[in-house]
Amino acid sequence: MLRRLVQVGVRELSRSQSTAAATEKWDLYAGVLVERLPVISKSLNPLEKQFQDMLWRVEYENSLKSNHELKHEREIVQAELIKQGKMQVDLEDSGAKQTAQDLKDAYIEELKKFQLADRTTPDDKANKTSSTDRCLEDTLYLLVQQKLGPQEHLILPQGKREEGESMRQTAERVLHEQCGQELQVLFYGNAPVGFHKYKYPSNQRTQSVGAKVFFYRASLRSGQVAEKVAKFEWLPKEALNGKLTNAAYSESVNKFLL
């Protein structure tokens, strides 16, 4: 009898909790992960460099001779025949003719003048985190300062959904409101790539108990964040976690970072 009463009590408690959870109202938010993709390829480590050299050597050994190389070989044979007197020189054409060796010498001189661009920029040296002209080998992610409750935090741009909007439309509007019209991005799709939810403090709850944030991914096409934004930073993945102070939020974001 006692066991039956306990089972009935547990069932009623579970039902009441499920009913309460079903009646809870949550605010819907859209967040945007804006990424500036790498501008240059990654530097090779010693093992990768050794493997690349081996591939180039194999490709060179298996390749056919180019037209330039064949022409150069023919000219060497012709020069030897002329030297031996077995072949006559056409004086009219010889002055205007550009040999393969002449071309090679010109190419070498042009190569000597070529200078590779530096892989680091002045903004790298100044550690200017508001610039996208830095960390050229890495993907940079945009964080903006927004007010959540009484405090301000650096987070992915986000905002509340308005009536009649799809979540994708909310994401586009929020990005323009938070970062300005100059920032042009390409959204990867209509479906969110990540999710995070949190409850408001008890003394700040009015109609909703908390917020559910749906994250969309977008890549930077051109432009920059508007100057009106109080604070923003473009950060590589390894520096991102240090700026996302909320552990649960950081964990949700890391789930869809590449």
114: phi then psi, degrees, rounded to nearest 5: -75, 130
pLDDT higher than threshold 60 for residue 130: yes
Q: In the 3-class helix/strand/coil scheme, how is 15-37 assigned residue by residue?
A: HHHHHHHHHCCEEEEEEEEEEEC
**pLDDT band at 84, cuts 50/70/90?**
confident
Say how far apart CA 42 and CA 1 lie, in whole Å: 71
pLDDT of the residue at 56: 95
pLDDT higher than threshold 50 for residue 209: yes
Range with the lowest mean pLDDT among 20-29, 91-100, 163-172?
A: 91-100
Contact assessment for residue 194 and residue 149, using Cβ atoms and an 8 Å cutoff: no
Range with the lowest mean pLDDT among 15-24, 144-153, 211-220?
A: 15-24
CA 125-129-134 angle, 5° bins: 55
pLDDT of the residue at 54: 97
Say how far apart CA 35 and CA 31 lie, in whole Å: 13
Contact assessment for residue 155 and residue 33, using Cβ atoms and an 8 Å cutoff: no
- Residue-range domains of the chain with CATH: 25-40+128-254 (3.90.79.10), 46-113 (no CATH)
pLDDT of the residue at 11: 54
pLDDT of the residue at 79: 83
pLDDT of the residue at 7: 47
Other CB atoms within 10 Å distance of the CB of residue 34: 24
Q: By C-alpha distance, which of 179, 165, 189, 195 is closest to 230?
A: 179
pTM of the model: 0.76
